[in-house]
Amino acid sequence: MADTAFYIAKRYLIAKKGSTAVTFITWLAAIAMMVAVAAMFIIISVFSGLEDLNRDLISNLHADLTIKSREGKVLKDIGKLQQGLSKNGEIAGFSKAIEEKVYIDYAGKGDIAFLRGVDSAYISVNPVNKNIFYGTYPDFKYPNEVVMENQLGNRLSIPVGSQADFATIFMPRAGKGLINKEEDIFNKKDIYVTGVFSGNDQLNSYIIAPIALAQQLLDLPDTAAYQILIKLKNSENADAVRDQLLAAVGKEYLITTKKEENAAFWKMINIEKLFIYFIFVLVIFITTFNLAGAIIILQLDKKQQARSLLSLGLPISELRKTYFYTGILIVITGIAVGLILGTVICFIQLQTGFFKANAAIDLAFPVRILPMNYLIVAATAAAFGILISWIFSKINRQYITNS
């Protein structure tokens, strides 16, 4: 009997004869499911690609391990600390850094940014120089040569590589007493932008400069640093090396992994991804009402045939299965074609980069096709499709026998 119900359902779906309106509504339901599935798959694949892009961008701004002081900002006994790090076989390299919030001004335009002062070993720890798409990375001959994140540069319209154009960085001064002039409020330095690197709209705007510039702005000695950034030979051992270093250097230092440094950022990304997923769950749920309409119209159109089948001895339960299987076939068709269409569009984007996230820097929307994406989309669409098919296939005998 189950084979009979499935055979009839298949005939209802692919039969060339019958009501044109029924055929149109049935295939409209399948097309609506296909479009919703394809859209959901594409968006989830784009978010997977964005996760990889964000991970790459963050990896070039945060080290495998970061050492900070538990009390105050300036690291104590930094020379002794560096000697201990040099003897650790798990460490590939390390760099001193100072990071503070500053105000930057150029030609009457101003913005808030994070100034990260680093030493010449920084690019061996965080290769941000690989993300420079215009200009060059500073050679550290002069303390006022900097590179900045491209969004910050765009907002301020600072020329890159122009010897005649300088921006000014303002750093609040620590101190007490009356303020008599501007110099009592801020330390300021003119900076020369040698290049810009690709950043992320979700991240803070960064300026990367020689550590000497940050030391001058903060009135610190030339040996001072706020952080030591560590590059490991194997980044997967970050937790184990952190515990090992904490035991060696003592409790006066705080050591965090890259994941811990960016916990808030990744939480925000995951919330955005979950929010987008629920939006498309709602879209697919609304789409399944087309499926409900198709099943109802099919029942109305095939009412006479249903009477004949019941009179021939077909149980009402099998007739219900017929409509249920019809709904399932529509769902399967929509999911299969939708996933194929979504995959093709994602593959075209991977090959051509046709859709741009930022046309100014020729940055295409990143896409990553994952098996989990297929599973999430198919399971979501199938769950709603099966539920709607089951609910609206519950036809009763009295409905069929009544004229």
pLDDT tens across 156-209, in order?
A: 888 887 777 889 999 887 655 555 565 667 888 999 999 888 765 545 688 999
What is the C-alpha separation between 372 and 375, in angstroms, rounded? 5
Q: Which position has the higher pLDDT, 93 or 294? A: 93
Nearest to 57 by CA among 151, 146, 139: 151
Of 107 and 300, the one with more pLDDT: 107
pLDDT at 338: 92
Please, are residues 292 and 395 in contact by the beta-carbon 8 Å criterion? no
What is the spatial distance between Cα 144 and Cα 154, in angstroms, rounded to a whole number?
20
pLDDT of residue 173: 78
pLDDT at 68 over 70: yes
Question: What's the pLDDT score for residue 235?
Answer: 80
pTM for this model (two decimals): 0.62
Angstrom distance (rounded) from CA 389 to CA 391: 6
Give me the mean pLDDT over the 32-61 stretch.
80
pLDDT score, position 181: 60
For helices 263-301 and 371-392, angle between their N-to-C axes, nearest 10 degrees: 40
Write down the number of H helices and E strands in the chain: 13, 12
pLDDT of 87 higher than 70: yes
Find the mean pLDDT for residues 303-331. 73
pLDDT, residue 361, reads: 56
Top pLDDT among 398 and 231 is at: 231
**At how many degrees (to 10) do helices 303-311 and 316-352 cross?**
130
Whole-number Å distance between alpha carbons of 210 and 192 = 12
Spans of all domains in the chain: 2-57+266-401, 63-258
Helix (H, G, I), strand (E, B) or coil at 47: helix
Please, what is the average pLDDT of the chain? 80
Q: Which of 80-84, 242-246, 307-311, 343-347 is predicted least confidently? A: 307-311
Higher-confidence residue: 131 or 387?
387
Which residue type is seen at 7?
Y
What is the mean predicted confidence (pLDDT) over 99-125?
Answer: 90
Determine how β-strand 109-118 pairs with β-strand 206-210. Answer: parallel
**Is the confidence at residue 56, as pLDDT, over 80?**
no
What pLDDT is attached to residue 64? Answer: 83
pLDDT of 260 reads 76
**C-alpha angle 340/343/346, rounded to 5°?**
150
* Range with lowest mean pLDDT among 13-27, 45-59, 73-87, 345-359: 13-27
pLDDT at res. 1: 47
